Amino acid sequence: MARRILLIIGGGIAAYKSLDLIRRLRERGYGVRVVLTRAAQEFVTPLAAGALSNDRVFTDLFDLDDEREIGHIRLSRDADLLVVAPATADLLAKMATGQASDLACAVLLATDKPVLVAPAMNPRMWAHPATCRNMRQLETDGVKFIGPNKGEMAERGEAGTGRMSEPTEIADAVDRLLGGDASAMKKAGLLSGRRVVVTSGPTHEPIDPVRYIANRSSGKQGHAIAAAAAVLGAQVTLVSGPVSLPPPEGVETITVETAEDMLAAVRRALPADIAIFAAAVADWRVAAAADQKLKKTKSNSAQTLALVENPDILKTIAAAGPKRPALVIGFAAETENVVAHAQKKRKDKGADWIVANDVSPETGTFGGDRNTVHLVTARDIEGWPPQTKEEVARRLVTRAAEYLQENQIDV
Ligand code: CTP
């Protein structure tokens, strides 16, 4: 069973960040159920929260259906951790005085589980003696806190302490509170029972025993994908070209040199439910690599290398008939017409999805630690915000897990 978070969203402008928090928590393998206060519904809708959590959203203490089917007592105890984000000054005051006038408060009063609170309010409200008093009381009661951070507020010209922590900071705090134990998550994860194959890094195509053709791929994105799939419980085989990264934890890593070796290793790793091709495979290899080191001679001072095309691993596996994984995902690095090129690449290669990486100079992808990607599928195109390679990896494997579930592809 996935570990479960009951996320209580209070009524503040930071509520919009809590939608992102739902996604981040799910990417880390948590089940998320949402309670929205009445005020929160002024900022986010139950529909949006429900679509992201993939569960019913609870809003009202006196909704008879809820009381009959679940009830606030069970709601409060079914979770492993309660997270209040954003926690407004009002919500903190109600918690500190043990009120039970609405569903959020009643659940917080009835729970026997740990509670993590992410306050968000105007800096003057945060600094007010009443709020300080409430915070001290809640700390004495064993409530855990994350933030608030310092910075600009939503209101113009207001700055100070009171900004809600960022969703990744809150998700990190959740990991810490629940032990951050990847092996427990693994058993519970969205991809348990699934096999995933990932390619990563460059390939080295020999010219002679000491020289080769290569590229600058670091392997960071492919390795992050393999690690993220393992955290979600998949049995992962990572087929990697030569890189200077350590093999990810909990992943079977096979190191290869050439494109032909990479294809052979991927074939051996089948069958799989998901195959993700993140390697920067050399398109060409030397037609006849020399057995001995090539020497300079007076007569052949200018050498010419004859090249032949390498197999396209993605295309080959996408056409592997009964052995084809249910979901085949490729990558594309584009500097212009990103989506159009990726759509064409998806069809040409027979992939289900293409992750199109916009590497045009404006995005700062080269040399930066963030990727700006579009996920191109048969049905639509999703633009993702600039994210780290780890974030892209988590989001991609979560989406892949959801795809298998939605298409009822059995384990
Ligand atoms: N790929 C592969 N085997 C190859 C070449 C590419 O598996 N021999 C995979 C890559 O891992 C990636 C996708 O195909 O998933 C990239 O396709 P490619 O046509 O190489 O695209 P770009 O690298 O973007 O290059 P270009 O469009 O310039 O050809």
Give the percent of the chain with pLDDT over 90. 75
% of residues, the chain, pLDDT over 70? 93
- Whether 331 lines ligand 1, by a CB cut-off of 6 Å, is yes
- What are the tens digits of pLDDT across the range 183-195? 444 545 789 999 9
- Ligand 1 neighbour 279 (Cβ under 6 A): yes
Cβ of 277 below 6 Å from ligand 1: yes
Task: Take atom 21 of ligand 1 and give the residue whose Cα is closest.
Answer: 332
Residue 373 has pLDDT above 80, yes or no: yes
Q: How far apart are CA 62 and CA 101, in angstroms?
A: 10
Judging by DSSP bridges, how do beta strands 195-200 and 235-240 pair with one another?
parallel
Kindly give the number of the ligand 1 atom that is closest to the alpha carbon of 199. Answer: 11
Nearest to 5 by CA among 161, 171, 164: 171
Q: 216, 310, 314: which to mutate for ligand 1, most atoms within 8 A of CB?
A: 314
Query: What sign has the CA pseudo-torsion 54, 15, 24, 178?
Result: negative
CA distance 274 to 100: 47
CA of 280 to the centre of ligand 1 (A): 7
Class of domain 4-180: alpha beta
By 3-state DSSP, what share of the chain in percent is helix, strand and coil, each rounded to 5? 35, 25, 40
pLDDT tens string 231-283: 899 999 999 999 999 999 899 999 999 999 999 999 999 999 999 999 999 99
What is the 407 CA–ligand 1 centroid distance (Å)? 27
List residues with catalytic annotation.
Answer: 215
Q: At residue 291, what are phi and psi to the nearest 5 degrees?
A: -75, -30
Task: State the chain's mean pLDDT as an integer.
Answer: 91
Q: Which tens digit of pLDDT belongs to each residue from 192-235? A: 999 999 999 999 999 999 999 999 999 999 999 999 999 899 99
Superfamily holding 184-291+301-406: CoaB-like (3.40.50.10300)
How do beta strands 211-213 and 205-208 pair? antiparallel
Q: Domain extents for the chain?
A: 4-180, 184-291+301-406
How wide is the angle at C-alpha 21 spanned by C-alphas 326 and 112, nearest 5°?
105
- Tell me, using a 6 A CB cutoff, whether residue 135 lines ligand 1: no
For 222, the token pair is 């492919």
Cα–Cα distance between 326 and 267 in angstroms, integer?
15
Calpha distance 62→50 (Å, rounded): 19
142-187 pLDDT, tens per residue? 999 999 998 877 777 777 899 999 999 999 899 889 876 544 445 4
Distance from the alpha carbon of residue 76 to the mean position of ligand 1, in angstroms: 49
Ligand 1 contact via 353 beta carbon (within 6 Å): no
332 CB less than 6 Å from ligand 1? Answer: yes
* Burial annotation 211-238 (CB, 10 A radius, 16+ → b, else e): bbbbeebebbbbbbbbbbbbbbbbbbbb
pLDDT band (50, 70, 90) for residue 65:
low
Mark residue 16 as left, alpha or beta (left: phi above 0; alpha: psi -120 to 50; beta: remaining): alpha
